[in-house]
């Protein structure tokens, strides 16, 4: 087993332990105390889980884009497998971000779904990548499927950072970090977070990204085995 796979286990365990055990107090005096963010209180801890998951979504969609480009340049079916596997993982993380955000919204905004700009944009993103898999399953020919979905993954991948990072930030809304949100939430986006929170936050981002890389590697190796057996089958027949 590669060292980084064991490392990510220890790393994320430490992140989870710190994220959930450091007390949130009005005036932190020790390094192990998080400051209260007005309006968020204990719910601020979601930033160590929900935000890294949303971040991983974008990373996954960009990896899908990159492998789409790679497929169009090399016409290598392995790049197509990488692209679709990455888009699949991105969709999984997007669903997790939506569900966790929705639960959080129930207790912060009073309703599971408010059609806040942030919620609307992730909804559109889910539709875009849902359509990607509808497109893939509709095409029989492997090469044709690979080519069309590569083009789709590139166009969709370009929209992903816009929907996650830009759109919800230039509009006024309920989500922390929306335009006009001066209290509590602003610091999250402008990185005015308390240094210890910021450290745990970035540690979580790194941990989730490496976890994604591992999941991606497992899926890729499975696809490689499938391709191997498919080629062996076609050689026999």
Partner 1 sequence: MDFYKFLSQNSLYVVLFVVLIIWAGIYSYLFRLDRRLRRAEDQVEKHHHER
Task: Give the interface with partner 1 as residue ranges (CB under 8 A).
Answer: 1, 5, 9, 12-13, 16-17, 20-21, 42, 214-215, 218, 221-222, 225, 228
Nearer to partner 1, 48 or 132 (CB): 48
Q: How far is the CB of 171 from partner 1 (least distance, A)?
A: 32
Q: How far is the CB of 16 from partner 1 (least distance, A)?
A: 5
Q: How far is the CB of 19 from partner 1 (least distance, A)?
A: 9
Nearer to partner 1, 1 or 138 (CB): 1
Task: Give the angle subtended at the CA of 34 by the CAs of 187 and 37, to the nearest 5°.
Answer: 40
For 35, the enclosing helix (H) or strand (E) is strand 34-35
CA torsion angle for 80, 85, 90, 93 (degrees, to 10)? 180
Nearer to partner 1, 41 or 143 (CB): 41
CA dist., res. 202 & res. 70, Å (int):
29
Nearer to partner 1, 12 or 125 (CB): 12
Helix (H, G, I), strand (E, B) or coil at 25: strand
Q: How far is the CB of 32 from partner 1 (least distance, A)?
A: 14
Neighbours of 5 (CB within 10 A): 14
Q: Single out the residue of 150, 101, 90 nearest to residue 125, CA to CA.
A: 90
């Amino acid at each position: 087993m590669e060292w980084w796979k064991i490392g990510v286990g220890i790393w994320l365990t430490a992140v989870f332990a710190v994220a959930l055990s450091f007390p949130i107090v009005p005036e932190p005096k020790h390094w192990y105390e998080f400051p209260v963010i007005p309006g968020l209180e204990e719910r601020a801890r979601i930033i160590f889980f929900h935000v890294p998951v949303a971040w991983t979504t974008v990373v996954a969609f960009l990896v899908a884009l990159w492998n789409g480009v790679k497929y169009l340049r090399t016409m290598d079916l392995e790049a197509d497998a990488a692209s679709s596997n990455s888009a699949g993982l991105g969709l999984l993380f997007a669903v997790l971000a939506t569900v966790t955000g929705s639960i959080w919204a129930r207790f912060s905004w009073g309703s599971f779904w408010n059609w806040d700009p942030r919620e609307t944009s992730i909804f559109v993103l889910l539709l875009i990548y849902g359509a990607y898999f509808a497109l893939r399953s509709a095409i029989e020919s492997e090469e044709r499927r690979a080519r069309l979905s590569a083009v789709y993954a590139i166009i969709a991948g370009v929209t992903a950072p816009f929907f996650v990072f830009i759109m919800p930030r230039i509009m006024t809304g309920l989500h922390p970090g929306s335009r006009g949100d001066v209290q509590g939430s602003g610091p999250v986006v402008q990185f005015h977070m308390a240094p210890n929170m910021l450290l745990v936050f970035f540690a979580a981002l790194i941990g989730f990204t490496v976890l994604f890389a591992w999941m991606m590697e497992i899926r890729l190796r499975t696809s490689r085995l499938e391709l191997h057996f498919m080629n062996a089958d076609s050689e026999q027949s």
